């Protein structure tokens, strides 16, 4: 004869979990520490393996066909997530970042004055070199290496990728 109790429908199995305030605090602190540690590890990985565009490597991007931009006109485009402008000057095609080097406003072409103009603080840039003509901008517009082949204009890379990284917080930079 078996004297051990048998399972029946009338028996109720209760499991109780009690968590003290101290244990709850330990769990919360551990979760916060895990969250912060994952952010530090992510930053380390981003530093060790930067994105290809951040290294200044060339990436050929078609801006426009030669017919789309007649002499004396421009075309706005995005290059490496930054606003840029292609100018068709009598001397040929030129491309610059369109982000003013003063406070980051978007500069545009003024054909009547033959300049690239920043409306925020009246900065004026030479359309052939990107150099500052007048106004408060401290440095020229960043130039983009371009090539014309097979009837189209292609952007290749920033001429000074380190300088372009320094203006990444300005308007027009994504």
pLDDT in tens, 41-70: 988 888 887 665 444 455 788 899 888 988
Bridge partners (DSSP) of residue 85 are 76, 96
Average pLDDT, the chain: 82
Contact criterion met (CB below 8 Å) for 76 and 84:
yes
Q: Which domains does the chain have, with CATH numbers?
A: 56-166 (2.102.10.10)
pLDDT of residue 173: 42
Give the containing element (helix H, strand E) for 171. Answer: none
Tokens of 24: 């709850």
Among 34-43, 55-64, 82-91, the range scoring the smallest mean pLDDT is: 55-64
pLDDT in tens, 20-32: 999 999 999 999 9
Tokens of 28: 């919360």
In whole angstroms, what separates CA 111 from the centre of its chain?
Answer: 29
pLDDT of residue 52: 52
pLDDT of residue 170: 46
Give which of 96, 154, 159, 155 is closest to 123, Cα–Cα. 96
pLDDT in tens, 99-135: 888 888 888 889 889 899 998 888 999 988 889 999 8
pLDDT in tens, 5-21: 565 556 566 777 888 99
Give which of 160, 155, 169 is closest to 139, Cα–Cα. 160
pLDDT of residue 8: 59
pLDDT of residue 15: 77
Q: How far apart are alpha carbons 108 and 4 in whole angstroms?
A: 91
Tokens of 57: 């490597």
Q: pTM here?
A: 0.62
Residue-wise burial string across 126-165, b where 16 or more C-beta atoms lie within 10 A, e elsewhere: bbeebebbeeebeebbbbbebeeeeeebbbebbeebeebe
Give which of 73, 25, 16, 81 is closest to 51, Cα–Cα. 81
């Amino acid at each position: 004869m078996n004297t051990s109790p048998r399972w029946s429908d009338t028996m109720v199995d209760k499991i109780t979990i009690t968590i003290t305030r101290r244990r709850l605090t330990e769990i919360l602190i551990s979760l916060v520490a895990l969250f912060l540690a994952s952010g530090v590890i992510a930053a380390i990985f981003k530093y060790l393996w930067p994105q290809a565009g951040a290294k200044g490597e060339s990436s050929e991007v078609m801006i426009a066909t030669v017919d789309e931009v007649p002499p004396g006109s421009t075309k706005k485009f995005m290059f490496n997530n930054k606003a840029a402008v292609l100018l068709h000057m009598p001397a040929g095609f030129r491309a610059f970042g369109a982000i003013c080097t003063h406070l980051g406003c978007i500069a545009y072409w003024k054909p009547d004055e033959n300049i690239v103009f920043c409306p925020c603080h009246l900065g004026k840039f030479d359309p052939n070199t990107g150099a500052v003509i007048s106004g408060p901008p401290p440095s020229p517009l960043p130039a983009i290496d371009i090539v014309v082949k097979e009837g189209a204009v292609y952007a290749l890379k920033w001429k000074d990728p380190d300088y372009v990284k320094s203006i990444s917080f300005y308007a027009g930079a994504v």
